[in-house]
Structure formats: C-alpha cells, structure tokens
Amino acid sequence: MASKKRAVPEINAGSMADIAFLLLIFFLVTTTMDVDKGLLVKLPPWTEEKSEEQDIKEKNIFVVLVNAQDQLLIESEYATLEDVRRLTKEFIDNNGDGTCEDCRGLRDPASSDNPGKAVISLQNDRGTSYNTFVKVRNELLGAYTELRNELATRKYGRDYESLSEGDKEEVNAVYPQFISEAEPVQVGG
Amino acid sequence: MALIKKKKKAETPPLSTASLPDIVFMLLFFFMVTTTMREVTLLVKLKKPQATEIQKLERKDLTTYIYVGAPKNAELGSEPRIQLADQLASVGDVQQWVILQRESINEAERTKFTVSIKADVDAKMGLISDIKQELRKAQSLKLSYSANPAASAEELYKAY
C-alpha cells in the first residue's frame, strides 16, 4: 500500500476579505446609531381624588399658560417664547424673604420668597401643539440650568456639568426644580 | 560610481493585500458592537421637536417608547394616533402595556424604568396629556419628551 503522507492543501484565504466585506456591508446597512435624547420629566403620582389644595402662596406660583393658538400668557401678561427664560429666571432668583444667600435676585416683595418655595406651573390647553409645549418646557428647564450654571461659576469657577456629584447636589439644594405640569383645561379656542 | 550605475528598471512592488481582511474585520467588529437593530417599523409620521436642554437616555433596555403622530396609512385619517410596539393603539391600552413592559425588566432596576414619548410636532397636547394620565395610573413616573438637539436657543425662537 502506498501510504505516503499526503500534504494537506492549504486553504485559500483570498476570499476571506470578501466574506468579511459581505458581513460588514450587512451591519453597515442595518445599523442605526440614533441615541434617544429628550427632556426628562418626573410625573406626580396618580391620585383618584382631585389633588388637594396645597398651601402655596399666590406669589410663589409662576403661572405659564399656553392656549390652543400656541400663545403665551405669563403671570397674566402676554409674552413670547423669548421672554420665558428671562422671566422665569427673575422669578426663581427673586429671593423675596432674603433667606437664599447665593441668590442675586431683585428681592421684589411681590414675587417669589426663595428658590425653595418657588413653583412653576405650566398649564396648557388640549389644543396646544406639542411643538410649542416642548419649546416652553425647554425654556423652563433652561432657566434652571442657567441659574445653576451661574451659581457654579460663582462658587467653584466651573460649569455645572463639570462639578463633582457632591457639589452638584449643593447647587441643586440652592435651586431645586419645581415645575408642575397641570392637567390641561379648555382655556379657549 | 557603482551605486548610480546600478540602474535597474524601477518596478513598483505589488501592493500587499494580506492585511486587508484584518482591516475589514476591525471595521466589522466595530459595527457589530455598535449596531442596534431597528426594533419597530414606524406606522406614524414622526418629526420630533427641537430642544436644547435634552439629556441622553442612558439605558435603552430600561426605556419604552410610545410613538404619537398621524398614521402613514392615509386611509386611517390624519388625526394623530398612538403606536405601541408594532401596532396602533388607543389611549386605553397604554396603561396595561406600560405595566407589562415594566414587568419584563429586572426587578432591581424597575425604578429606573423610563417611558420616552416620541411625538410628532403637529400632535396636540390633549392626546399627550391623556397618555401622561395613563402613565401616572400605571405608576410609571419617569418620562422623557423625545427631541432632537437644536443648535441654539435662538434657533428655537425663530421657528416659533
């Protein structure tokens, strides 16, 4: 018997690149690299009965009303989207009773007592467009972000985002976020 | 000089393609790792609003999406509808569905469960508010209004 040791033929690796390309193109086509981003919001827990009247002074509530025509009414006065951020900041930072040492507000006695008591109430109509709602919500969040940033710069000389967790909490304690989204009503239209 | 005299025909050596598979494999692995398959087919028209104060949703597995917009199928009218997973649904279905989605994730991480509302710019707040009420009933209180990043705040005012 001719039992000569046969040499195993080498596998041709030339087509390996083709196979890899095929896979690569498949993943290139199916891939979607969208990261979902959005305005993070916390809803109040559900209660069966009408929410009980809370004891909040009228001057500590900042009412932003958006009607079905996407028009804005802030504290009973017409306003545009550009005004929202500025007015909100003035309201939060007002520091009417002087207990907030880090605030730089106007100390108007008719406006909020301190940022810990200031509540922003966003009210909208059922006919308000989602686009406008998100923009207004964005401005309200922006007002808090700006105030926190300003405080972080004053206190630590850095941006809020670059602070450590502990420092962030300290800043948050000065400017806690109270934004309430009221259940919609038929404001008109 | 001997060195200069050595004037052979200058032949360009053939480019070695031996490392080509390696390069391609590297790219392949990158895309394999970063890829996420499209989970649902959108049945509604979706043009997300723009915003500046947006935050990234870190954990996709802890997030559930609710799509709101006018149906792509014109026969279903132009009124914005809710899409849960792969089908259109009504407001009444939201609560049950969200509870089911939350049950499906690990108990230890259930508190981080977030619902992301991906709604069209033309949707009305009436429908969104109804969804919000259903989420509150389902005790699912973390919510995200999905939006695309805007370059600056001024850009938002212009479109207003």
pLDDT in tens, A143-160: 888 888 888 888 888 888
Q: Is residue A24 part of a domain?
A: no
Residue B144 structural domain: 50-153
Q: Which residues of A62-91 are buried (b: 16+ CB within 10 A; e: fewer)?
A: bebbbbbebbbebeeeebebeebbebbbbb
Q: Name the residue with higher pLDDT: A189 or B125.
A: B125
B31·A28 Cβ contact <8 A: yes
Contact B43/B88 with Cβ under 8 angstroms? Answer: yes
Whose CA is closest to A172, among A183, A180, A161?
A161
Exposure of A15 in the CB half-sphere (CA atoms within 13 A): 3
ipTM of the complex: 0.76
Token pair 């806690």 is found at A176
Q: Considering only CB atoms, which chain B residues are within 8 Å of A46?
A: 133, 136-137, 139
Number of domains in chain B: 1
Taking phi over 0 as left and psi of -120 to 50 as alpha, with beta for the rest, B105 belongs to beta
User: Distance between CA atoms of A77 and A82, rounded to whole angstroms?
Assistant: 14
Number of domains in chain A: 1
List A residues 16-75 in contact with B (Cβ-Cβ < 8 A).
16-17, 20-21, 23-24, 27-28, 30-33, 35-46
Q: Is residue B106 part of a domain?
A: yes
Residue A106 structural domain: 58-181
User: Distance between CA atoms of A30 and A27, rounded to whole angstroms?
Assistant: 5
Q: Is residue A31 part of a domain?
A: no
Q: Is residue A135 part of a domain?
A: yes
Q: Is residue A33 part of a domain?
A: no
Does this model's pTM top 0.90? My answer is: no
Q: Considering only CB atoms, which chain A residues are within 8 Å of B145?
A: 38-39, 41, 134, 137
> Within A51-186, where are the H helices?
81-92, 130-156, 165-174
User: Distance between CA atoms of B24 and B87, rounded to whole angstroms?
Assistant: 38
Exposure of A142 in the CB half-sphere (CA atoms within 13 A): 21
Contact A39/B54 with Cβ under 8 angstroms? Answer: yes
Q: Is residue A81 part of a domain?
A: yes
A38·B120 Cβ contact <8 A: no
Q: Is residue B76 part of a domain?
A: yes
B114-119 and B142-146 beta bridge pairing: parallel
pLDDT in tens, B9-68: 678 888 777 788 888 888 888 887 877 666 778 888 888 888 888 888 878 788 888 999
pLDDT in tens, A8-46: 887 777 787 788 888 888 888 877 666 788 888 888 888
CATH code (residue B56): 3.30.420.270
Nearest CA in chain A to B116: A38
The maximal CA–CA distance of chain B, rounded, in angstroms, is: 94
Contact A72/A78 with Cβ under 8 angstroms? Answer: yes
Residue type for B83, please? Q
